[in-house]
Chain A
Amino acid sequence: MSHPLRAAAFTSDAERTTWHDETLWFVRQKRDKAVYGIPEFQQLRQLASDIKEHTLSRLDEYLEQFEQNARANGVQVHWAADAEEHNRIVLDLIRKAGATSLVKSKSMLTEECHLNPYLVNNGIAVVDTDLGERIVQLREEAPSHLVLPAIHLKKEDVGETFHQHLGTPKGEKDPQALTEAARLHLREKFLIGEVAITGVNFAVAETGAVVVCTNEGNADLGVNLARVHIACMGLEKLIPRTADLGVFTRLLARSATGQPVTTYTSHFARPAAGREMHIVIVDNGRTRQLGRPDFRASLKCIRCGACMNTCPVYRRSGGHSYDFTVPGPIGAILSPNIDMRQHSSLPFASTLCGSCTDVCPVKIDIHAQLYKWRQIIAQEGELPAAKKLGMKLLSSVLARPGIYRLGGKIAREGLRFLPHGLTHAQALNPWAKARELPEAPKQSFRDWYAQQAVKQ
């Protein structure tokens, strides 16, 4: 199914679509307020971009340095070429620990690898502990946003889910009460957690530490009560120095939610006495993206979600319409690298307005990459038939001025007389769904211009 079809399902509820749009725009406004409070914000973006670019240019060296330092800290480092190997490594570690259950804090990487279903199929009970992730997990859905996993749901939906799974009273929809119920429910899980899995926001080469940012405190609670900590990271999470965290921690939360910083910025370098810590470094297509000069900048992404909050298409089509782990503009440039055929409609889910590029804290040229993917997708013959036909027709018309002029005349005359039901027939003209054509001018620009020349 393509993005437009899935988006159509989302927008069929107009009220909810408007609510979704406005809620995310509100988050974007909070971001603006936080950003305007920092005079050097634009310099910070440049610095972040430069640091990431430098790191990518020497990524092999930083990976080795990071591994060496982590090992010296008593951490075991594992490498996974793809999702399957990642999942196998994690399952092995859990089995070696003799565990049958685990608590997990937010990790888009494990979503990307579809770790949860894999573990469940192998008899491991997985509990997502981030509130939003827990909500979508109970509903057997995927997160619909990078940092706001349950943003597609209303409090009534959450209330119903909690009523079914946690036994909250029917009809309870107060966020405070629902959060309290989740706190009590998840605390039980934390207390018996044997293995804790976390994602990684930043991996510091010079110390071997991984940094995890949360607001809820679920990563720290999980890790510090469990015997075994497994941190899963994509290999692009590297940064060279502890000092670089100054730049990234100032950008991340402000760009994401407009907070001055996340509540917990946690640095894990060495396991506590008698406990284990593992780091799994995952490629899964990243080195391939690194080899594409037009698209490698997408590896600078720090997963703040700002590009989706600002995107007019994301806001009105919802995260699930992308059908990819990372939705929104950044997902639309990451997904074709993974499977161009499956995700061929995503680079077209954009107006190319460039708002994503404007807010991106690491200055990824997102809209330019969307445009470039479109050309590759067209070259590879992956355009949908209607679009292909339309483009062909248009290019042959544009190449023949005579036909172009004639077409314009027919349209100007025709639109005045043809019935609305025909020009706006949605089966023939999908453009006209929710759109009106402008009134046709009596005269073409060409004729008007010729007249002016005569007058002078």
Chain B
Amino acid sequence: MSSRESILAAVRRNRPEPAPLPPVADFGGAATVEQFTHWLHFIGGQVIRLAAGQPLTDAVRQLYPEAVRVASDLIPATVPVDQHTPTAVLEAVDVAVLRGELGVAENGAVWVPEANMLHRALPMISQHLALVLDHRSIVATMHQAYAAVQHTGNYGVFIAGPSKTADIEQSLVIGAHGARSLVVLLR
């Protein structure tokens, strides 16, 4: 008998009495820009509200005056990136400016599906990350977030703030392996 068969047989033999699956939960909650901003700040990120009519390019230039290599499909990029871009090129990206699909008010997370990433590694390998989000795309909690996303696709990530670690004596350090900073540009 293969391991697959023997494992499944052991599970069938040993599984407990049937227990019901609870219905999908939703506890409501506040889907506000204020909550989202509060939590993103709490976890080390930053929220910038774009003024009406303010071009994205200007906002990005103001935020990252020194960034030379910018990857984006939302503003004119200086580094073209697609799924075939070699690692050496990706590694040199200063800032990636990508579209976030959905924000979560209770924790500052932003849903970024593969389609928005240009390359799957870009959001993590880029030194800094800016996510552009429509303020009407903020939901209250992870329940509503998964309800809105429905299917998580081939690959997708909820990104909540910059990469961080507290593995040395519990001291929080921002910028572990992924982006050193995260800004959400709300429009």
Contacts and interface: CB of A to CB of B under 8 A. Distances in A.
B30 to A, nearest CB: 12
Given A43-B27, A216-B164, A79 B7 contact: yes
Interface residues of B, number: 76
Contacts of B46: none
Nearest to B45: A263
Interface stretch (B49-57, B71-79, B118-126): B118-126
Contact of B166 (A38, A153, A224, A257): A257
B51 to A, nearest CB: 28
A49 to B, nearest CB: 10
Given A131-B165, A257-B166, A264-B178, A250 B158 contact: no
B interface, by DSSP: helix, strand, loop or mixed?
Answer: loop
Contact of A187 (B104, B155, B159, B177): B177
B187 to A, nearest CB: 23
A263 B21 contact: no
B62 interface: no
Nearest to B2: A79
B109 A240 contact: no
A254 B107 CA distance: 10
A264 B158 contact: yes
Interface of A: 23, 26-27, 38-40, 43-44, 47, 50-51, 53-60, 63-64, 73, 79-81, 85, 129-132, 135, 148-151, 153-155, 158, 175-176, 178-180, 183, 186-187, 190-191, 204, 207, 209, 215-218, 220-221, 223-225, 235, 240-247, 249-250, 257, 259-270, 272-273, 281, 283, 287-288, 290-291, 293, 296
A290 B11 contact: yes
Interface in B111-156: 119-121, 123-125, 141-147, 149-156
12 contacts: A50-B22, A63-B8, A175-B168, A215-B165, A215-B166, A235-B11, A246-B145, A250-B142, A260-B106, A263-B162, A264-B178, A283-B10
Given A217-B179, A260-B108, A179 B13 contact: no
Contacts of B123: 220
Nearest to A222: B177
B7 A129 contact: no
Of A54, A57, A215, most B-chain CB atoms within 10 Å: A215
Contact of A217 (B144, B147, B151, B163): B163
A200 to B, nearest CB: 14
A173 to B, nearest CB: 9
Contact of A73 (B43, B121, B149, B154): B154
A223 B166 CA distance: 22
Contacts, number: 262
B163 A242 contact: no
Nearest to B4: A79
A204 B155 CA distance: 13
Given A179-B173, A183-B176, A267 B15 contact: no
Given A204-B152, A269-B153, 11 more contacts: A47-B25, A60-B8, A132-B165, A148-B166, A179-B165, A207-B152, A216-B178, A260-B106, A261-B104, A265-B157, A290-B10
Closest 4 CB pairs of A and B: A217-B178, A291-B14, A260-B107, A132-B167
B143 to A, nearest CB: 4
Contact of A218 (B3, B106, B151, B177): B177
Interface string B168-187: 11110101111100000000
Given A221-B177, A272-B83, A57 B18 contact: yes
